């Protein structure tokens, strides 16, 4: 999350989280997410539900691909048991992340210029 939010305007992410409608079973981040200094596990999982949708409107495709693949890997890793097929999906997600991770370095380098 920090990698992605450091490459796009944090105010844009906060605004999008703030304008989401509330749901009785999910956290509503009225003030956004950039000001949260410590996450509970529940808050972090609920933020992940919306994170890709928020990124989709403001981030370049390679950032979205990297974030999506990393989230997929995390979700797969949380399964209680893993089949050979599941391990294959985890490897695909990890490979996709590695194929797109250079965007974080590239954009950070451009921003520092």
- Please count the residues of the chain: 113
DSSP helix/strand/coil, 109? helix
- Give yes or no for a contact between 73 and 94, defined as CB atoms under 8 angstroms apart: yes
Distance from C-alpha of 29 to C-alpha of 43, rounded to nearest angstrom: 9
Residue 108 has pLDDT above 60, yes or no: no
Residue by residue, what is the 3-state secondary structure of 44-108? HHHHHHHHHHHHHCCCCHHHHHHHHHHHHHHHHHCCCCCCHHHHHHHHHHHHHHHHHCHHHHHHH
Q: Per-residue pLDDT averaged across 28-45, rounded? A: 73
The mean of the pLDDT values for the chain is 79
- The whole-model pTM stands at 0.67
DSSP helix/strand/coil, 43? helix
DSSP helix/strand/coil, 8? coil
Q: Average the pLDDT over each of 45-49, 75-79, 95-99 and give the range with the smallest value.
A: 45-49
């Amino acid at each position: 999350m920090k990698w992605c939010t450091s490459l796009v305007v944090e105010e844009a992410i906060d605004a999008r989280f703030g304008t989401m409608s509330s749901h009785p079973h999910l956290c509503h981040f009225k003030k956004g997410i950039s000001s949260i200094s410590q996450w509970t596990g529940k808050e972090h999982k609920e933020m992940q539900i919306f994170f890709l949708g928020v990124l989709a409107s403001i981030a370049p495709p390679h950032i979205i691909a990297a974030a999506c693949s990393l989230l997929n890997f995390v979700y797969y890793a949380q399964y209680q048991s893993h089949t050979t097929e599941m391990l294959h999906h985890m490897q695909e997600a990890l490979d996709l992340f590695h194929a797109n991770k250079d965007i974080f370095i590239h954009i950070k380098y451009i921003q520092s210029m």
